[in-house]
Amino acid sequence: MPNMLSEASSPYLLQHRDNPVHWQVWGAAALEEAKARNVPILLSIGYAACHWCHVMAHESFEDPNVAALMNAHYVNIKVDREERPDIDQIYMTALHAMGEQGGWPLTMFLTPDGAPFWGGTYFPPTPRFGRPSFTQVLQALAKAWETDRARIDSTVVSMTRALAANAAARPGDAPGPQVLDEIRARLLHGVDWTRGGLGGAPKFPNAPTFRFLWQESFRTGDTQAADAVDLLLNAMSQGGIYDHVGGGYARYATDENWLIPHFEKMLYDNALILDLLALVYARTGNPLYAARARETVGWLLRDMREEGAFAASEDADSEGVEGKFYVWEAREIAEILGAEGAEEFGRHYDLPEHGNWEERIILERKTPFSDPATEARLEAARRQLLARRSTRIRPGRDDKILADWNALSIAALARAAAVFEEPAWLELANQNFDFLRRVMGQADGRIAHAYRAGKISAAGLLEDQAAMIRAGLALYEHSGDSARLQQALQILIATETYFGDGAGTFFMVADDAVDVPGPKARNVTDGPTPSGIGLMAENYARLFHLTGDASYRARADALLAAFGGRADMLAASPVLLAAADLLENAACVVTGDAALARAALIAPDPAVVVLRASGQALSPGHPAAEKKTEQAAFVCQGGVCALPVTTAEALRALLRPLAKT
């Protein structure tokens, strides 16, 4: 079959539509062709903003000789990992089971029925980096398929067992204080206390992990946990991983000092970092975090708006060169700002004549956030640089709309709107939520995963449902609009119906998915985004505190216990761990007073739940039922409410104390 990608909606797949490789989309037709030809499948997974995906495409997939080899011996399938994270999850898990380090592009070799037997990531056109050439790999595996099928079959059996074991729940006790203490200590041991973040190069934001540490600082009073988060945000917000001209954080830094970004910007990173900026600002009042939050939302509105939501990502490359759009020369900055302006700018941002990266300058802030007058002048200078940069050829932009990533941004915007006193952000969050429900909502209550140009291109996954429930609950807490609660509950019913496994937990894909091979996966591990299971545990815990309905507590307990038997692995599930704390220790603030509600909404402790009770009857099971909340607030914990308070100061005194740094 010829290259079949021209009809795809994914920008990543469309990037490969002119390759001489006979690419096909994932689906039954490609698998049937492999069976008919009795050849293996070459599965290549990447995403539109992936630099090394572009490199491998230019080096290998655009080469007619390499393509001829691929076409002769394999059925070749391209997958956008953002559009089909369920497929990516299966084969990334298989790669890890093979003892290989994951990454993208993900290159996997499968039997005609989709079972993995060998894989890797990027392969160069000639042997280097300690890796064989892609041509050598293609030839060796084609020969093995012809002459050593028994060995391949043995590998398939091992991989099938590994995937089944990974998909299984591991029941035990729900994570308690001792488990949380042990994991907090383990994570803090891995912190780079000089530069911020975890470990050495490369460095990722790891937002779910640091949000867990932030919550731990309130559960335990561990000031070191709070310090780790503050250090991370300060280092990233001053470093080159942050786009000081246009706003927004890049996906990761390739060095240990946060200077050199891998320049692509992802919606999910910026949503999760925005949420963290708001939480930490609520405690510290650090003006740096307020500035970065406003600049990041500015980037979202200026560059990422797509129909009624946000696009998925911006590329690292422009004109085929990584970072070209973002970097500078000292003479160019002097030309734009003038000699005097460049001199002042250079006191705050290093402007070495020969650059700090490949003879170019990546801007990083070298001085602390300063007085308002200085910051105003620097902001004006950055606006001048932005105007010049806007004349350059922009990086590619993946304009597909992903429900889960957008839902993360909705919850972050709601919190940030309260903390930074930006009511327009809450309105934006509401508009985005309504758009996703209208355009991606299904008749059965589910939310689809991916949408572009008027077309839904991927069915909804657990992460989409869970993140949308969480977003709906966030809007409910911030507005008190009971319609938002009902919308969240509608999605919850569909989630339990189609994704529940009948044993208290959830599969990543729905029960009617027909194109996902192997055992259905349960994913409790947080990557750069939260796992659907972790988010569902949070949703149940939050619903229990909002409604007083004991059935939500029972469902949260069951979900937490389903993975309690893997306590040694729960460090990779910080969202689930935070949900355990939320369930046991949350402070539910019940009030009908707007000022008291706002005081609760801007609390820096993530384990604060806000129930705006004005004009609505509380469930009889709620500890605040029958209480007069019009001009007072009740803080309810452990099924008991404290005496009413009428001032923000008195309310804050009842919440978990702030960790002091």
Q: Do the domains 5-167 and 177-317+398-585 sit in the same CATH topology, yes or no?
A: no
- Measured on CA atoms in the order 178, 181, 182, 183, is the torsion positive or negative? positive
pTM for this entry? 0.95
Task: Tell me the mean pLDDT in the region 65-77.
Answer: 97
Which pLDDT value is given to residue 660?
45
Instruction: Kindly report, residue by residue over 392-430, the tens digit of the pLDDT.
Output: 999 999 999 999 999 999 999 999 999 999 999 999 999
Q: How far is CA 351 from CA 184, 423, 607, 637, in A?
A: 39, 38, 43, 53
**Nearest-angstrom CA–CA distance, 408 and 233:** 19
**Where is average pLDDT lowest: 71-75, 146-150, 581-585?**
146-150
Give the amino acid at 527. G
How far apart are alpha carbons 562 and 587 in whole angstroms?
Answer: 25
Instruction: Classify domain 5-167 at the CATH topology level.
Output: Glutaredoxin (3.40.30)
292 closest CA partner among 269, 313, 317, 321: 269
pLDDT on residue 518 = 78
Q: What is the rounded average pLDDT of the residues 146-161?
A: 88
Q: Give the SS3 label for residue 319.
A: coil
**Strand ordering across the sheet containing 250-253:** 250-253, 261-266, 313-314, 397-398
228: left (phi over 0), alpha (psi -120 to 50) or beta: alpha
Task: Give 380-385 contacts, CB < 8 A, sequence gap 24+.
Answer: 381/337, 381/341, 381/344, 381/345, 382/244, 382/245, 384/336, 384/337, 384/341, 385/245, 385/328, 385/333, 385/336, 385/337
pLDDT bucket at 517, cuts 50 / 70 / 90: confident
pLDDT of 80-89, one tens digit each? 999 999 999 9
Residue 387 has pLDDT above 90, yes or no: yes
Rounded (10°) CA dihedral 285, 287, 293, 296: -170
Strand-strand pairing, 41-46 and 106-110? antiparallel
Q: Which has the closest alpha carbon to 630: 613, 609, 651, 649?
A: 613
List alpha helices for 323-401, DSSP H: 330-348, 372-389
Amino acid (1-letter code) at residue 443: A
Residue 658 pLDDT: 65
Half-sphere exposure (Cβ direction) of 13: Cα atoms closer than 13 Å: 26
Q: Collapse the DSSP code of 371 into the 3-class scheme (helix H, G, I; strand E, B; otherwise coil) and give the result.
A: coil
What pLDDT does 324 receive?
96
Q: Are 91 and 119 in contact (CB under 8 A)?
A: yes
The pLDDT value recorded for residue 520 is 86
User: What is the residue-averaged pLDDT of the chain?
Assistant: 95
For residues 412 and 485, give the distance between their C-alpha atoms in angstroms, rounded to a whole number.
17
Q: Which two tokens stand for residue 373?
A: 């007058």
The answer to whether 41 and 111 are in contact (CB under 8 A) is yes
In angstroms, the CA 76 to CA 270 distance is 34
Residues 6+ apart with CB under 8 A from 635: 587, 588, 589, 590, 641, 642, 645, 651, 654, 655
Inter-residue contact 629 to 590 (CB < 8 Å): yes
Assess whether pLDDT exceeds 70 at residue 151.
yes
Both structure tokens of 404: 């889960």
Three-state DSSP state, 251: strand
Reported confidence tier of residue 160, pLDDT bands at 50, 70, 90: confident
Provide the residue ranges of all domains of the chain, joining segments of one domain with +: 5-167, 177-317+398-585, 326-391, 587-654
The helix-helix angle for 550-561 and 532-547 (nearest 10°) equals 160
Phi, psi of 576 (to 5 degrees): -65, -40
Neighbours of 353 (CB within 10 A): 9
CA–CA distance, 529 with 466 (Å, rounded to integer): 12
Tokens 């932030």 belong to which residue? 214
Q: What is the pLDDT of residue 661?
A: 39
| pLDDT for the residue 615 | 60
The per-residue pLDDT for range 449-475, each reduced to its tens digit, is 999 999 999 999 999 999 999 999 999
> Would the CA dihedral through 262, 267, 272, 277 be positive or negative?
positive
Residue 548 CB partners (closer than 8 Å, separation 6+): 618, 619, 620, 621, 622, 623, 625
Taking the C-alpha atoms of residue 534 and residue 461, their distance in angstroms, rounded to an integer, is 14
Across 489-518, average pLDDT: 94
**Chain-centroid distance, C-alpha 333:** 34
> Is 3.50.50.60 the CATH classification of the domain at 177-317+398-585?
no
Asked if residues 529 and 205 have their Cβ atoms less than 8 Å apart, the reply is no
Q: Give pLDDT tens digits for 578-622.
A: 999 999 999 999 999 999 999 999 999 999 999 998 766 788 889
Which three-class secondary structure state does DSSP give residue 88? helix
Nearest residue to 109 (alpha-carbon basis) of 136, 85, 72, 145: 145
CA-wise closest residue to 479 among 413, 535, 540: 413
Residue 448 in tokens: 């689809």
- Count of other CB atoms within 10 angstroms of residue 202: 15
Helix, strand, coil in percent for the chain, rounding step 5: 50, 15, 35
| Confidence at residue 611, expressed as pLDDT on a 0 to 100 scale | 96
Q: Measure the CA angle with vertex 614, ends 469 and 219; round to 5°.
A: 55
Q: Mean pLDDT, to the nearest integer, of 272-276?
A: 98
The mean pLDDT of 58-77, rounded to a whole number, is 97
